[in-house]
Every structure is written in C-alpha cells, then in structure tokens.
C-alpha cells in the first residue's frame, strides 16, 4: 500500500484516484472546485462514467479514498509518497498545450512535498514538460516522472484497471520502478523510457487514432461519390490483420477533450523542432471539412439553402457513453447548421435541457425525449452513436416530423427498415 495524492478530479484524476484506491493504495484527491469536492465527499460524481460512482463509493467506504480542496492540502493529508498531476492542459492561442494549470499545481505542491516523493505527470503534456514541472516545484530532492494516460471516456474505469500498457518516462530508474510498482495489481506490460519518449508516445497515439478516423471519413466520402458501400469496404479492410477494425467507423469527425487539442499541439511541437508535420495538418483539415460537408448535406436534405429548416439532432456528446461535450463534433455540425439559419431541436440521453454555461452561444432547444426533438422537423440527424437510438419507435418519429428524412452521420440505423417506413434515409458512404 502506498500513499498517493491526485491533483485534479476531472475524468482522468477521479478515475485514477478511484482505481488506485481500488488497488489498495491510500489516496487523497484534490480539486480547486469546492462544489465538486463537496459532491464527491457525499459519494456522488459530477460526470457520467460507467462504474465510477460505485468505485468512488467503495473507496469512501473503505476510507482508502478521500477528497479535499487544494493540492497542497492533499499532499499533506496523504503524507504523499506519490503525487499524480491530472489537471487540464487546454489548447493555447497558438495551438500549443497551455501548461499554466500544470505549473500552478506544481508550484502549489512544491513546498508540501516530502523528501524523496515522486511527482507523476498524467496530464498530456508536450515534450520537455518534465523540466517545466521541475522548475515549478522548485525542489531538487524529489523525482519527476511522466506517466501518460490512455483511458477512453465512457470506458475509463475499465481502461484504467485493464490498460494495454503502462508507459513510464523518467531519467531516474529508481523512481520509474517505484511508479511501476504502484500498478503491480494490474496485469499489464510496463515500459520505461526517457521522459521525451513517453510524452511523444501519448501524442503519437492520439494523432494516429485521429488519422484513422479522418482516413475512413475520406473513404466514406469517396464511397458516396463512386457508389460503393463503406461498411463493406471497412469489413474487407478490417479482416486484414495488418489493418484491423478499430477506429474505422465513419462519422461526423473526431472531437472530444483530447484529439483536437493534442493533434494541434503535436503540429506545434513538430514546428518548434523544425519539422513540418504535413500529414497531421491534412488529417486536421479533413476533419474540419467533414463538419462542413455534413452540415451542407443535412441542410440539403431539409430542402436546400435559405429554407431555415427545423433540424432534429439526436446526440450532442462527442461519443456515446459520456456526458462530455468538449469539442464535440456534434456541436461543430450544429454550429454550422445554426449559421446557415436552421432551428435546432436536440436530444441526448446525458444532456439536460440547460447546457453548461460555456455553451450559452448555442441557441438550441434541448428536449427531454427523442420524439419531442423531432416534432415539426424537416430532417433528423444522428450525430452521436447512442445505441438506444436504434430501438426507438420510427413510426412515431415519422408521425411527428414535417417530412420523414434522416441523415445518419453514424451509420447507426437500418436503412432498409427505415425506407420501408417511408423515410428518405442517407448515411455516410452507404447505399
Ligand atoms: N479526458 C480524457 O479522456 C483524457 C484521456 C487521457 C489523457 N487526458 C489528459 O489528462 C488531463 C486531464 O484531463 P481531464 O479530461 O481529466 O480534465 P478535466 O478538465 O476534466 O479535469 C481537470 C481538473 O483539474 C482541476 N484543477 C485544475 N487546477 C488545479 C489545481 N491547481 N489544484 C487542484 N485541481 C485543479 C480542475 O478544476 C478540474 O476538475 C489533460 O491533460 C488531458 O489531455 C484526458
């Protein structure tokens, strides 16, 4: 059992803290958001993440998991041997990762650290950030280790407890070995590299996955143009063991809290190092184009430009299984539809009628049920792949719409049965 402090209780910090407590460590998690900490202390969680609330409740019950306000407080209360930095690293104005929260948290914990403590950066940070953390800590008697996180929102607990691999970046072999030992209960390969390599692995993974999605979206657009069926193309590709099926699902584009900022940060990291990462710039351009192409197709299906249609939108989150709206492709498409004069009525199983404050600019109606969103709509578009959308009553949907037309931007629904019910159905690169 080790004594651990986790700084930041967002998607990564809360999952990390709860999972480390589950593995038997004594964990104190900190945030600067007092309301969030009070909620967590009461056993509830501020995000939608399968299995996490139960794990937090379990940690509170066994007293292996505690929540406090303030990073230094957590380090002191935990008498921490290990401190995980899990704060946000948003995109800065020039595309690079903004390290201000990492620096701030490091500066706060610096004076509170015990000699020999290990500070572990789990936030996604650019190459060279270990030095930034060291400087902000202003301590020469503690170790700094990079340990990037690869969890997927929606499956965060599973991914944290069953990682494909654990990457540890450090020039201090003893500190790296101590961090690896924290994860001993997990049956996962651990690799130790230098910090720059560990930091690059994280960005390379996200850039590669974004590339796969942009690639299959481009292929879907090609299928649309030449009359091929992308679902069979993916099948034919995926059986090839060198390619596989993962991340080859056409959609409205990639988004979420990581891919957009991390891909742009990697372009910037390369630029600063004198390398023009043209491939990744192309991947980003294909994605931006995808939002526009979709908005145009939806408007077209609704009767063409200048008709100011009512558009029903199913799905607002960046993917199914989460309530996260950050950089959601659905929102990007909705913004373009609004700019074109459409009225939007939306439904998402994890989004309330009132959107979070930073979406105030979105003049849309969020409905309590999927049918209400379709009332009077000239077209329905599916923008997030929530499974429940497949099982709805499409007779009822057709009955409330102004015209039964669907643009299925996730290729989620069954075209044959919908066309039989009188719908005009369009998918992405699908017959
Ligand atoms: N969300 C993901 O799926 C995911 C996956 C892998 C890696 N990451 C990376 O992990 C990092 C965190 O991501 P996230 O989605 O959990 O972010 P988040 O915004 O959900 O959470 C960050 C939390 O840190 C808190 N915080 C900020 N400064 C603090 C301070 N000084 N003291 C205490 N708390 C502080 C914030 O209040 C917030 O609750 C980012 O670098 C991200 O790129 C995220």
Write the burial class of residue 375 (CB in 10 Å: 0-12 exposed, 13-18 middle, 19+ buried): middle
Quickly count: other Cβ atoms within 10 Å of residue 81's Cβ.
Answer: 18
Write the burial class of residue 165 (CB in 10 Å: 0-12 exposed, 13-18 middle, 19+ buried): exposed
- Residue of 7, 11, 322, 323 with the most ligand 1 atoms within 8 Å of its CB, for mutation: 11
Which ligand 1 atom lies nearest to the CA of residue 15? 16
- Average pLDDT over every residue of 198-202: 97
Rg (CA), the chain: 23
71 lines ligand 1 (CB under 6 A): yes
Quickly count: other Cβ atoms within 10 Å of residue 147's Cβ.
Answer: 25
The structure's pTM equals: 0.95
Q: What integer pLDDT is reported at residue 306 of this predicted model?
A: 67
- Average pLDDT over every residue of 228-235: 97
Q: What is the mean pLDDT of the chain?
A: 96
- What confidence category does residue 419 fall into, taking pLDDT thresholds of 50, 70 and 90? very high
State both tokens at 40.
């967590």
Spatial contact of 197 and 169, defined as CB atoms under 8 Å apart: yes
Separation of alpha carbons 247 and 143, rounded Å: 37
Q: What integer pLDDT is reported at residue 431 of this predicted model?
A: 81
Spatial contact of 266 and 284, defined as CB atoms under 8 Å apart: no
Q: What integer pLDDT is reported at residue 354 of this predicted model?
A: 84
103 lines ligand 1 (CB under 6 A): no
- Average pLDDT over every residue of 31-54: 97
Q: What integer pLDDT is reported at residue 356 of this predicted model?
A: 84
How much of the chain exceeds pLDDT 90, in percent? Answer: 96
Spatial contact of 102 and 121, defined as CB atoms under 8 Å apart: yes
108 lines ligand 1 (CB under 6 A): yes
72 lines ligand 1 (CB under 6 A): no
Please name the residue whose Cα sits nearest to atom 39 of ligand 1: 10
Which H/E stretch holds residue 14? helix 11-22
426 lines ligand 1 (CB under 6 A): no
- What confidence category does residue 245 fall into, taking pLDDT thresholds of 50, 70 and 90? very high
DSSP, res 159: H
The full DSSP string for 101-118 is: HHHHHHHHHGGGPPTT-E
Q: What integer pLDDT is reported at residue 25 of this predicted model?
A: 98
- What confidence category does residue 384 fall into, taking pLDDT thresholds of 50, 70 and 90? very high
Which ligand 1 atom lies nearest to the CA of residue 104? 31
Separation of alpha carbons 297 and 289, rounded Å: 12
175 CA distance to ligand 1 middle (Å): 23
Spatial contact of 295 and 313, defined as CB atoms under 8 Å apart: no
Separation of alpha carbons 106 and 7, rounded Å: 9
Question: Is the predicted pLDDT of residue 358 greater than 90, yes or no?
Answer: no
210 CA distance to ligand 1 middle (Å): 21
16 lines ligand 1 (CB under 6 A): no
- Average pLDDT over every residue of 27-42: 98
* More confidently predicted of 364 and 355: 364
Closest CA to 240 of 248, 249, 251: 248
151 lines ligand 1 (CB under 6 A): yes
Write the burial class of residue 106 (CB in 10 Å: 0-12 exposed, 13-18 middle, 19+ buried): buried
CA angle 128, 182, 108 (to 5 degrees): 50
267-307 tens-digit pLDDT: 999 999 999 999 999 999 999 999 999 999 999 999 876 68
Please name the residue whose Cα sits nearest to atom 1 of ligand 1: 11
Spatial contact of 47 and 360, defined as CB atoms under 8 Å apart: no
271 CA distance to ligand 1 middle (Å): 26
Q: Would you mind telling me the total number of residues written for the chain in this entry? A: 431
154 lines ligand 1 (CB under 6 A): no
267 CA distance to ligand 1 middle (Å): 22
Question: Is the predicted pLDDT of residue 56 greater than 80, yes or no?
Answer: yes
Provide the annotated active-site residues. Answer: 258
Which ligand 1 atom lies nearest to the CA of residue 150? 6
CA 269 from centroid of its chain's CA atoms: 21
- Residue of 5, 16, 31 with the most ligand 1 atoms within 8 Å of its CB, for mutation: 31
Q: What integer pLDDT is reported at residue 361 of this predicted model?
A: 87
Write the burial class of residue 130 (CB in 10 Å: 0-12 exposed, 13-18 middle, 19+ buried): buried
Only one residue has tokens 């690169």, namely 429
81 lines ligand 1 (CB under 6 A): no
Question: Is the predicted pLDDT of residue 266 greater than 90, yes or no?
Answer: yes
Domain annotation for the chain: domains and CATH numbers = 3-193 (3.40.50.720), 227-426 (3.40.50.720)
Question: Is the predicted pLDDT of residue 359 greater than 90, yes or no?
Answer: no
Within 123-274, residue ranges assigned H as helices are 129-137, 156-161, 173-182, 195-226, 230-238, 259-272
Question: Is the predicted pLDDT of residue 318 greater than 80, yes or no?
Answer: yes
Question: Is the predicted pLDDT of residue 46 greater than 90, yes or no?
Answer: yes
CA 11 from centroid of its chain's CA atoms: 9
Only one residue has tokens 């992308």, namely 230
């Amino acid at each position: 059992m080790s004594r651990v402090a986790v700084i930041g209780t967002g998607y990564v910090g809360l999952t990390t803290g709860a999972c480390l407590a589950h593995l038997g460590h004594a964990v104190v998690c900190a945030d600067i958001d007092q309301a969030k900490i009070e909620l967590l202390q009461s056993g509830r969680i501020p995000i939608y993440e399968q299995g996490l609330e139960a794990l937090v409740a379990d940690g509170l019950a066994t007293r292996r998991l505690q929540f406090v306000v303030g990073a230094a407080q957590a380090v002191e209360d935990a008498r921490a041997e290990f401190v995980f930095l899990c704060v946000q690293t948003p995109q800065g104005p020039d595309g690079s990762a903004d390290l201000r929260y990492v620096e701030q948290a490091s500066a706060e914990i610096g004076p509170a650290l015990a000699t020999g403590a290990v500070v572990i950066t789990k936030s996604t940070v650019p190459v060279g950030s270990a030095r930034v953390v060291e400087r902000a800590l202003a301590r020469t008697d503690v170790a700094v280790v990079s340990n990037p996180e690869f969890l997927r929102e929606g499956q965060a607990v599973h991914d944290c407890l069953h990682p494909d691999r654990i990457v540890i970046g450090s020039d201090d072999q003893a500190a790296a070995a101590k961090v690896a030992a924290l994860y001993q209960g997990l049956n996962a390969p651990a690799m130790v590299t230098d910090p720059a390599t560990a930091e690059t692995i994280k960005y390379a993974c996200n850039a590669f996955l974004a590339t796969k999605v942009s690639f299959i979206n481009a292929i879907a657009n090609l299928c649309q143009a030449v009359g091929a069926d992308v679902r069979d193309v993916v099948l034919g590709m995926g059986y090839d063991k060198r390619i596989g099926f993962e991340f080859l699902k056409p959609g409205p584009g990639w988004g979420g809290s990581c891919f957009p900022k991390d891909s742009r940060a990697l372009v910037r990291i390369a630029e600063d190092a004198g390398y023009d990462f043209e491939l990744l710039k192309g991947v980003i351009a294909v994605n931006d184009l995808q939002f526009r192409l979709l908005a145009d197709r939806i408007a077209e299906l609704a009767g063409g430009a200048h008709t100011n249609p009512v558009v029903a939108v199913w799905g607002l989150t960046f993917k199914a299984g989460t309530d996260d709206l950050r950089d959601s492709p659905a929102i990007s498409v909705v913004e373009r539809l609004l700019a074109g004069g459409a009225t939007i009525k939306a439904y998402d199983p994890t989004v309330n009628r009132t959107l979070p404050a930073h979406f105030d600019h979105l003049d849309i109606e969020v409905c309590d049920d999927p049918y209400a969103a379709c009332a009077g709509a000239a077209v329905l578009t599916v923008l997030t792949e929530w499974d429940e959308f497949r099982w709805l009553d499409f007779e009822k949907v057709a009955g409330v719409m102004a015209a039964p037309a669907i643009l299925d931007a996730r290729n989620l629904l069954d075209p044959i049965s919908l066309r039989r019910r009188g719908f005009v159905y369009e998918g992405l690169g699908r017959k």
